Chains A and B, each alone.
Chain A
Amino acid sequence: MLPDFPEQKAKVEERLQIRMDQQRLAKLGPFGESPAIRVAEGDRLIFEGEDETEREMEFGHAEAEFKVSVDELPTMTIEQLIAKLDKAAEDLARQQVERAVGVLNEAVETVGNTLHMRGEPFQAEHLFRALEKISIDFDESGQPYVPTLLMGPDMADRATEVVGRVTLEADLRRRYDQIILRKREEWRARESHRKLVG
């Protein structure tokens, strides 16, 4: 055989794989911060709600490929290799986000929690109506775990502007605080149901 350095190459590959995974997570955006569970064995995953309704999670498949041609090898640098892997990580992340958004949409439709904007630009009113529709949890000091707002890239700037206005404009801020106050009461009521009876 020709001279080779398998141990060193394996170490580099291991680190590249870790980096690729980190890149994939970064590209997932808010989905990268959501809880991830590993199904260690078996081929089916069923979620059972408190009302004993069942929902089976279908496993999706994501794949990405990258090619290194023999012609490229003599001049290939580690930066070029990383760029190829980053592209593959981005591909994987895109597939995961598409799938996650699909599952979210389906879940929202199923429980009738859809908010139709009827072609209007995103406004504070839409944000308030969205907040009204969901339940919000609070930490031990009473601070809300404010949900993440997921927007398409074309609406991102507009959403940032609306959220900024809600933070700065007194009327909007008051309305937001009232919603949070009400949500806190709802949360307390929910929490007070956590008990053993009988």
Chain B
Amino acid sequence: MLERVIENWLDKANERTFEVPFCHMLAAEGHTVLHLTRHCAMEMGKDVLSIAPDGVPCAYQLKGPPGGRIRLWQWRDEIERQVFGLVTGGIAHPSIPTTLANHRAYLVTSCELEEEVIRAIEDMNRSFVRQGRPDCQLRTIVRGELLRRARDLETNLWPTDLPDIKELLEMYLEEGDGPLPKTKLAGLIERVIPQTAEEQAPGKGKLDRSLASAAVLCALALASFSLRSNFWAQIEAWTLYGGYVLGLAERYGLAKHIWLPHFAIAERELYILLVRLSAELQERSYFVEGSPMTDGLVYGHRMTVLIGLLSVLALWPSQKDGDERDHNFIREFCQRHTSEMRLWGEGGIPFIVARFWQGRLNDATPGPDLLLRDLAAQVSRANAPRSTNALPSPYYDLTDAISHALGIAEAPIRETFAGRSYSLEGLVHLFARRMWRQQMRFLWPDISRVRFVRFYPPQPADFFRSRCAQGITRDVQPHQTQSWGELLQQAQESEGACVPASAREFPVFVLLYLLVCPYGMNSEVLRWLDGHLA
């Protein structure tokens, strides 16, 4: 049945939707993937670049036209010119030495080629030979080959029991215009990527195939969201995947060359999705989505998500193959719409903290610091003991919070949020690091009434798990009379002991992970991020 689902997915796929799983297939075969494109006008015919296991650079043009078959007119009108450039043009990429002159060129398509197209490709290849350029050859990877490669991954790890298959099919058949069912996807990925360390790590080949297999499963579950260009859902999905890769690396203490190729593909895809989201916002005059009648009820939440994501994009490290961000637009958008942000619960805090770090990139005024101050003040007042409008904990995501706020939730929340907070200690520490002692004096009475809650997973590898069965929740009463010196000392610590070693090179990814899974947020990780991002 799953094979049929893969076939159906390939039938519907466009080059965007099968690009990432294809890259993971390459990585599982030993390729080093260097580049994947965001399919803009500047792509120059090379969607994916890799170095094959034998050291030869490879360039791929991806085509997924609807209709199941590339016809001769499509070849003549659209594809031939692009693939000519793909075959004959050199590869300009900082990671490919100029000494490696020849490369392999591939046309990859999720459909079949018409016989006339096959003939045209053979003619083109023969003409290169006649011209004394036998190295210039166009190779093809078509639907059947992609299916075989997908099957050769560890698809035996894919869900086989009916409830899991049902979950996958439900995700596959989603409309794709709403939020990602994260819990369902996390459950599916956890079926493929081992979560408990066995005595010995599986071999590289098996791990490669598992990680690629999980990526294909992820792409499959995400298909409807990808086809709708639902960027937030896709970002959540690939962030979850990236987190599971880092968690696996940490759990087994894996060498970097085993896991990094898969993580790098997910990371690059996240960057592309953020850039595409930014480009869409740039083209829009209004930020209303779906039915406008009730959009006002969720507009502020949407702006919080958008500003948080653009802030992450602004903080993203520079890319080797060129910066595709419009920093001016990002800055202006965030500035113009910050006042429209709406906090739905503690799950929204990482979005605003991301905005704080983004603001500090190019705002030398106290503005960003005061955003942090206002946030700490808001949380301490909202979550004061006996408060009737306390912010839900970060375990309640945006959809839960909206349902409860609008009174359409299926069951009432039976939990009390007043008197405690998962985020306040971190916010206090970030603000203390800015040395606003007098401002902190005003805040402290309210802060001291709210207990600081922290969750400690059993080991750093569990940082990226959706829920840990084991671990300690600490519920700490802050001091009524607090010494500034001691507070500063606590705030200055930024070792980030809870952050897995595998993730330490990727602070922006860790921040993005907190946007997607805010329950991972605690004062320790916020201080560590501040050390890297501020």
Task: Please indicate the chain B residues that have their CB under 8 angstroms from the CB of A41 in the complex.
Answer: 455, 457, 467-469, 471, 473, 519
In whole angstroms, how far apart are the Cα atoms of A195 and B411 in the complex?
A: 40
Contact of B473 among A14, A46, A194 (CB under 8 A): A46
Taking a contact as CB atoms under 8 Å apart, the answer to whether A36 and B415 are in contact is yes
Taking a contact as CB atoms under 8 Å apart, the answer to whether A37 and B470 are in contact is no
Taking a contact as CB atoms under 8 Å apart, the answer to whether B483 and A46 are in contact is no
Question: How many residues in B have their beta carbons less than 8 Å from beta carbons of A?
Answer: 45
Q: Which of B48-56, B230-238, B292-300, B416-424 contacts A (4 or more CB under 8 A)?
A: B416-424
Contact of A44 among B445, B473, B482, B486 (CB under 8 A): B473
Contact of B472 among A14, A42, A197, A198 (CB under 8 A): A42
In whole angstroms, how far apart are the Cα atoms of A132 and B311 in the complex?
A: 54
A187 to chain B, nearest CB (A): 12
Taking a contact as CB atoms under 8 Å apart, the answer to whether A39 and B480 are in contact is no
Interface check A190, CB cutoff 8 A: yes
Task: Please indicate the chain B residues that have their CB under 8 angstroms from the CB of A190 in the complex.
Answer: 480
The answer to whether A49 and B480 touch (CB under 8 A), given A14-B410, A41-B468, is: no
In whole angstroms, how far apart are the Cα atoms of A190 and B477 in the complex?
A: 15
In the complex, the chain B residue whose C-beta lies closest to that of A50 is B477
The answer to whether A38 and B487 touch (CB under 8 A), given A47-B475, A195-B445, is: no
B264 to chain A, nearest CB (A): 29
In whole angstroms, how far apart are the Cα atoms of A190 and B479 in the complex?
A: 12
In the complex, the chain A residue whose C-beta lies closest to that of B418 is A35
Interface check A48, CB cutoff 8 A: yes
Task: Please indicate the chain A residues that have their CB under 8 angstroms from the CB of B449 in the complex.
Answer: 194
Contact of B474 among A35, A46, A194, A198 (CB under 8 A): A46
Interface check A21, CB cutoff 8 A: yes
In the complex, the chain A residue whose C-beta lies closest to that of B432 is A196
**Residues 26-44 of A contacting B (Cβ, < 8 Å):** 35-44
Interface check B327, CB cutoff 8 A: no
Taking a contact as CB atoms under 8 Å apart, the answer to whether A42 and B414 are in contact is no
Taking a contact as CB atoms under 8 Å apart, the answer to whether A42 and B473 are in contact is yes
Interface check B201, CB cutoff 8 A: no
Binary contact track A167-198/B, C-beta < 8 Å → 1, others 0: 00000000000000000000000110111111
Interface check A145, CB cutoff 8 A: yes
A142 to chain B, nearest CB (A): 15
| Best-buried of A21, A44, A196 by chain B (most CB within 10 Å) | A196
Interface check A18, CB cutoff 8 A: yes
Contact of A197 among B395, B467, B478, B484 (CB under 8 A): B484
Contact of B477 among A14, A48, A198 (CB under 8 A): A48
In whole angstroms, how far apart are the Cα atoms of A195 and B443 in the complex?
A: 9
Task: Please indicate the chain B residues that have their CB under 8 angstroms from the CB of A47 in the complex.
Answer: 475-477
The answer to whether A197 and B482 touch (CB under 8 A), given A38-B395, A43-B470, is: yes
**Residues 494-525 of B contacting A (Cβ, < 8 Å):** 519
**Residues 13-30 of B contacting A (Cβ, < 8 Å):** none
Interface check A83, CB cutoff 8 A: no
Interface check B203, CB cutoff 8 A: no
**Residues 408-450 of B contacting A (Cβ, < 8 Å):** 410-412, 414-416, 418-420, 437, 440-441, 444-445, 448-449
Contact of B481 among A14, A38, A44, A195 (CB under 8 A): A195
Task: Please indicate the chain A residues that have their CB under 8 angstroms from the CB of B467 in the complex.
Answer: 40-41
The answer to whether A42 and B468 touch (CB under 8 A), given A36-B415, A37-B420, A195-B445, is: yes
Task: Please indicate the chain B residues that have their CB under 8 angstroms from the CB of A42 in the complex.
Answer: 455-457, 468-473
**Residues 352-410 of B contacting A (Cβ, < 8 Å):** 385-386, 393, 395, 410
Taking a contact as CB atoms under 8 Å apart, the answer to whether B484 and A43 are in contact is no
In the complex, the chain B residue whose C-beta lies closest to that of A21 is B414
Interface check B163, CB cutoff 8 A: no
In the complex, the chain B residue whose C-beta lies closest to that of A53 is B477
Interface check B97, CB cutoff 8 A: no
In the complex, the chain A residue whose C-beta lies closest to that of B416 is A35
The answer to whether A49 and B411 touch (CB under 8 A), given A38-B395, A43-B470, A196-B437, is: no
In whole angstroms, how far apart are the Cα atoms of A45 and B453 in the complex?
A: 10
In whole angstroms, how far apart are the Cα atoms of A168 and B189 in the complex?
A: 67
Contact of A48 among B385, B444, B476 (CB under 8 A): B476
Taking a contact as CB atoms under 8 Å apart, the answer to whether A49 and B415 are in contact is no
Chain B: residues with CB nearer than 8 A to chain A?
Answer: 385-386, 393, 395, 410-412, 414-416, 418-420, 437, 440-441, 444-445, 448-449, 455-457, 467-487, 519
Taking A193-B480, A197-B484 as known contacts, 15 extra A-B pairs with beta carbons closer than 8 A to each other, sorted by chain A number, are A35-B416, A36-B415, A40-B467, A41-B519, A43-B470, A47-B475, A47-B476, A48-B476, A50-B477, A137-B385, A194-B445, A194-B449, A195-B481, A195-B482, A198-B486
Per CB-CB distance, the 5 closest pairs between chain A and chain B, nearest first, are A42-B471, A35-B416, A194-B445, A40-B395, A48-B476
Chain A: residues with CB nearer than 8 A to chain B?
Answer: 14, 18, 21, 25, 35-50, 137, 145, 190-191, 193-198
A and B contact pairs by CB, cutoff 8 A, 14 listed:
A14-B410, A25-B414, A36-B416, A39-B473, A41-B467, A42-B468, A44-B471, A194-B444, A194-B449, A194-B480, A194-B481, A195-B481, A197-B482, A197-B484
